[in-house]
Chains A and B, each alone.
Chain A
Amino acid sequence: MANTSSFSSSPSTKFSFDEKPHVLAVDDNLIDRKVIERLFINSTCKVTTAENGKRALEYLGLADGQHPNHNDLKVNLIITDYSMPGMTGYELLKRIKESPTMKEIPVVVVSSENIPTRINQCMQGGAQEFLLKPLQLSDATKLRCHIKKAITRGVCRRR
């Protein structure tokens, strides 16, 4: 299915309000990926999952050596686990926020551990929110509202 636009495409591109928000969920735990996927599908979002930071960056076109392919890609929310092998959710967050094309995408960090320094670090790093696992339906519903608002704002803020 063709995506209509992303925030970084040209001003003349039409934006469809009926289109489902697209969530990229990053987690090294298979069960958690399944649950998060279901949570967001049930909140009427389209979901893509990635099993680690490296795969997520590849998907976003931000991996080393890649050319950003933002014209085709529309991601409205990235939700990432904090503790992952290779690259933590925080490191992924930083990479996304450093990208001129992807930095506008809200990134939510989730963790099973309630560690204030970790939470601060992520919020300072530009995270939209930090949530504790396990996620619930109410979390997905709340995030979906954020996405809807962000999409609306994005359209008004067209460069």
Chain B
Amino acid sequence: MDVLSQLQRQLADFLASLYREGFVDDQFTQLQKLQDESSPDFVMEVVSLFFEDCEKLVNNMAKVLEQQVVDFKQVDSHVHQLKGSSSSIGAARIRNVCIAFKTFCEAQNREGCLRCLQQVNHEHAQLKANLQSLFTLERQIVAAGGSVPAMQ
């Protein structure tokens, strides 16, 4: 197998594993479908925005949760934002943590919220690393003269 085919095979396998392990879902596929010659970096741009947004929200939530009296409505509103964004880009694991997170907000459970926050951080880091690997592979393919294969 030449280098290009190997890379393409690697990409396909890697992508398949991301879906299989629930890191991304069908909505991520939708994003990829939206990427074309007129918007060749669309996925990367949206994903970058998402990670920035996620970090900001997590920092805000951490601040609110360390107050003497926690404003759970505020935390909930941030979780709602994060749930929406993660859902829109297909970040399935993060979205799922948000679902549990919301329940803890409604129950005004600080410990539960803090645990979820930690989980969000963890999933954020993992997804970031995974998507960075994905984009690197894509760049290598393009550099080797190929085009990114059509998704599922």
Contact = CB atoms under 8 A, between A and B. Distances in A.
A31 B88 CA distance: 7
Contacts of B81: 29
Interface stretch (B43-51, B110-118, B123-131, B143-151): B43-51
Contact of A32 (B33, B36, B45, B84): B84
A136 interface: yes
Interface residues of A, number: 16
Interface string A73-116: 00000000001000000000000000000000000000010000
B89 A38 contact: no
Interface string A34-47: 11001101100000
Interface in A14-48: 29-32, 34-35, 38-39, 41-42
Q: For this complex, into which size category does the number of interface residues on chain B fall? A: 20 to 34
Nearest to B46: A34
Contact of B46 (A31, A83, A133, A137): A31
Interface string B27-68: 100110110101100100110011001000000000000000
B83 interface: yes
A125 interface: no
B88 A134 contact: yes
A31 B50 contact: yes
Contacts of A29: 81, 84-85, 88
A29, A39, A83, A134 interface centre (most CB from chain B within 10 Å): A134
A134 B87 contact: yes
Contacts, number: 51
A143 to B, nearest CB: 15
A134 B87 CA distance: 6
A137 B33 contact: yes
A50 to B, nearest CB: 17
Interface in B8-36: 27, 30-31, 33-34, 36
Contact of B53 (A31, A35, A39, A112): A31
B85 A31 contact: yes
Interface in B74-98: 80-81, 83-85, 87-90
23 contacts: A29-B84, A29-B88, A30-B49, A31-B46, A31-B88, A32-B85, A34-B45, A34-B49, A35-B31, A35-B89, A38-B42, A38-B46, A39-B34, A41-B38, A41-B39, A42-B34, A112-B84, A112-B87, A133-B88, A134-B30, A134-B87, A137-B33, A137-B34
Interface of B: 27, 30-31, 33-34, 36, 38-39, 42, 45-46, 49-50, 53, 80-81, 83-85, 87-90
Q: Which A-B residue pairs are the 5 nearest by beta carbons?
A: A31-B85, A134-B88, A38-B34, A136-B30, A134-B27
